[in-house]
Structure 1
Amino acid sequence: MKKFFQRYLPPIAQIKSHPSLQFLGKRLHDPNLWHLNRRSVAGGTAIGLFSAFIPIPMQMVLAALLAILFRVNLPLAAALVWITNPITTPPIIYFDYLLGSILLRIPPQQLEFQFSSQWFLATLKPFLLGCMVLSTVSALAGYWLIIWLWRLQVNRLWRARCRKRLQPERTLIKPKKFGKLENLP
């Protein structure tokens, strides 16, 4: 599992030297932000997924600040924010609105934009509720999925190691045949 994340995450030096993150100063050089262990990866996943579904601009900054606050994997948290991109955002926004409408027991309306405060308030409440529920549920699901997959991988590697240890060792070199004792000097 660790090798999978090492393969796809950007180099640490590249992230540390990024100009937009220099305002974080020495906090950016905390080694806990760059470790790839079960707790750090699961926490980075949860923060990245939570930040991805919050409807604010500059979601990567929110993810970076939360990763620093909770001392979890920063590159993973920042990378997962890109789940919401220009292609995926419209369906996610519509799903958030529908989810909020269902939870508030309000019949969903046709989303035809009207420039009025009444329309804005009527659609904002279900939308924000849907965003918060989707953010929280996806963060919890991502956290526990990573914990479960990490433990599954560790158990698989441990069993393979035990099987290898229990197998008789096979030698590839044939033992030399010794001649008769009389032929010795």
Structure 2
Amino acid sequence: MPKKLIKRFMPDPQRIKDNKNLKIFGKLLHNPHLWHMNRHSVAKAFAVGLFFAFIPVPFQMILAAGTAILVHSNLPLSVALVWLTNPLTMPAIFYACYVVGAWLLHTPHKEFLFEASWQWIVDSLSTIGPAFFLGCGVLAVLFSILGYCGIQLLWRYNAIKAWQKRNGK
């Protein structure tokens, strides 16, 4: 079940290989183990993809792809999960990161209005930056662990159910 569901939403391997940003990995992208789907490679892909989805840096896809190559996770899934933070979801996710960071630092929430300018970013680093970056790190690790464990459990549950169905139980 999870394998079929994941395959339905996974990007085409050739599309990933042809991505201009990922060309820096060269022949490493042609390793067949990076494209294989099993419980372990998919669980590691969820961990990698969800981790980098919460890290507010440019080139998240490249970082996720490099890490996927290092840990032998499913590459397309690792890269696709980074897209969880997109222009529509980013404000809510990063606001949640700020709230978590402020809660952990025991600092009051500061009112701020977002502006798409370098000056606003530079000014905000000293005011909301510490809470924001702490929250990003904590949620990145938390969701990475939850994604890994969740896929392991879901995959195992479905394998047991399929086995029981096959044996007529």
Q: Which residue of 1 aligns with 2:65?
A: 64
TM score, norm. by length of structure 2: 0.89
**1:141-160 correspondence runs (5 A):** 141-160=146-165
Q: Which residue of 1 aligns with 2:75?
A: 74
Q: Which residue of 2 aligns with 1:121?
A: 126
Q: How far apart are residue 139 of structure 1 and its match? A: 0.5
Which amino acid is 2:164 matched to?
R
User: Is 1:137 the equivalent of 2:138?
Assistant: no
Aligned residues: 164
Structure 1: tracts of 5 or more residues without a match: 165-185
Q: How far apart are residue 82 of structure 1 and its match? A: 1.0
- What is the distance in 1 between the residues matched to 2:168 and 2:96? 48
- What is the distance in 2 between the residues matched to 1:103 and 1:152? 35
RMSD: 2.0
Q: Percent of counterpart pairs with the same letter? A: 45
Which amino acid is 1:70 matched to?
V
Q: How far apart are residue 119 of structure 1 and its match? A: 5.2
**1:88-99 correspondence runs (5 A):** 88-99=89-100
- What is the distance in 2 between the residues matched to 1:16 and 1:145? 28
Q: How far apart are residue 22 of structure 1 and its match? A: 2.1
Q: How far apart are residue 118 of structure 1 and its match? A: 7.0
- What is the distance in 2 between the residues matched to 1:116 and 1:13? 37
Larger radius of gyration: 1
Post-superposition Cα deviations, 1:58-82, rounded to whole Å, max 9, x if no partner, equal 2111111110111100100111111
Q: Which residue of 2 aligns with 1:163?
A: 168
Over 3 Å counting, the alpha-carbon distance change for 1:116 and 1:34 in structure 2 is: closer
Q: Which residue of 1 aligns with 2:16?
A: 15
Report if aligned partners of 2:34, 2:75 keep a CA contact under 8 Å in 1. yes
Structure 2: tracts of 5 or more residues without a match: none
TM score, norm. by length of structure 1: 0.82
Q: Which residue of 2 aligns with 1:181?
A: none
Q: How far apart are residue 124 of structure 1 and its match? A: 0.7
- What is the distance in 2 between the residues matched to 1:115 and 1:139? 30
Which amino acid is 2:166 matched to?
R
